[in-house]
C-alpha cells in the first residue's frame, strides 16, 4: 500500500517541546517528499479578556504577530537548509479551531502536533489542543508526546 503524504501541517508553539515535533515532521517530509506547513496560532485567553482593568498597548497584537512570524521564518529557514519545502502561517484565534481550518484550507494529508502529556487536574482545567485536533481531524495525526517538567 502506497501512502501519499504531500502536505504535513505542523502546529508549533515555540516551546522546548516544539523541536521534537518539527524533527518528526522533517523526517516524514524527507521520507515522503512532502511539503511542511508550519503554523503558529496566537490568542488571548478569554479569562484575560474578561479581567476588569486589563490593558494591552495598542501595538500589542502587531508585536505578537511580528515576533511569531520571525520565529516561524527562522524555523522554516532551518528546514529549507535541509532541502525541505516549507510554508509558514501565523494566525490569531483559538488553536484547535484554526488548526482544523488550516487542514482544510491547505488540504493537509497529515498533522504532526505536540502533546505535553498533562494528566489529572491540569488536563481537566487546561484541556488539550492535541486531543481536540485528534478528535476532529479529517486526516491522520501524529502526536509527539513530551511530558511536562
What is the reported pLDDT for 38?
A: 98
In CATH terms, the fold of domain 7-145 is Rossmann fold (3.40.50)
Q: For residues 120 and 107, is the Cβ–Cβ distance under 8 A?
A: no
What is the reported pLDDT for 126?
A: 43
Report how far residue 88's alpha carbon sits from residue 128's, in angstroms, rounded to the nearest whole number. 23
pTM: 0.84
What is the reported pLDDT for 124?
A: 45
What is the reported pLDDT for 119?
A: 54
What is the reported pLDDT for 55?
A: 63
Can you read off the three cell numbers belonging to residue 24?
A: 518528526
pLDDT per residue of the chain (149 residues) written in tens, 0 to 9? 778 999 999 999 998 889 999 999 999 999 999 999 999 998 765 555 555 556 666 677 678 889 999 999 999 999 999 999 999 999 999 999 999 999 999 999 999 999 875 555 444 444 588 889 999 999 999 999 876 55
What pairs with residue 87 in β-bridges? 37
What is the reported pLDDT for 63?
A: 83
What is the reported pLDDT for 97?
A: 94
What is the reported pLDDT for 44?
A: 67
**Sequence-separated (6 or more) residues with CB below 8 Å from residue 85:** 29, 34, 35, 36
Report how far residue 84's alpha carbon sits from residue 31's, in angstroms, rounded to the nearest whole number. 11
Can you read off the three cell numbers belonging to residue 19?
A: 523541536
Q: For residues 5 and 109, is the Cβ–Cβ distance under 8 A?
A: yes
State phi, psi for 80 to the nearest 5 degrees.
-65, -35
Report how far residue 74's alpha carbon sits from residue 86's, in angstroms, rounded to the nearest whole number. 11
Residue that is written with C-alpha cell 522554516 in the block? 76
DSSP symbols for 106-135: HT-SEEEEEE----HHHHHHH--HHHHHHH
Amino acid at each position: 500500500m502506497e501512502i501519499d503524504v504531500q502536505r504535513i501541517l505542523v502546529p508549533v508553539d515555540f516551546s522546548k517541546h516544539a523541536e521534537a515535533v518539527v524533527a518528526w515532521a522533517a523526517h516524514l517530509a524527507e521520507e515522503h517528499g512532502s511539503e511542511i506547513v508550519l503554523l503558529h496560532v496566537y490568542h488571548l485567553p478569554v479569562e484575560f479578556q474578561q479581567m476588569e482593568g486589563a490593558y494591552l498597548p495598542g501595538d500589542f497584537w502587531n508585536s505578537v504577530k511580528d515576533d511569531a512570524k520571525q520565529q516561524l521564518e527562522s524555523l522554516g529557514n532551518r528546514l529549507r537548509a535541509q532541502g525541505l519545502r516549507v510554508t509558514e502561517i501565523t494566525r490569531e484565534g483559538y488553536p484547535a479551531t484554526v488548526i482544523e481550518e488550516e487542514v482544510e484550507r491547505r488540504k493537509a494529508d497529515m498533522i504532526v502536533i505536540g502533546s505535553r502529556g498533562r494528566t489529572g487536574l491540569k488536563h481537566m482545567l487546561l484541556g488539550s489542543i492535541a486531543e481536540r485536533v485528534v478528535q476532529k481531524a479529517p486526516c491522520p495525526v501524529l502526536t509527539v508526546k513530551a511530558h511536562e517538567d
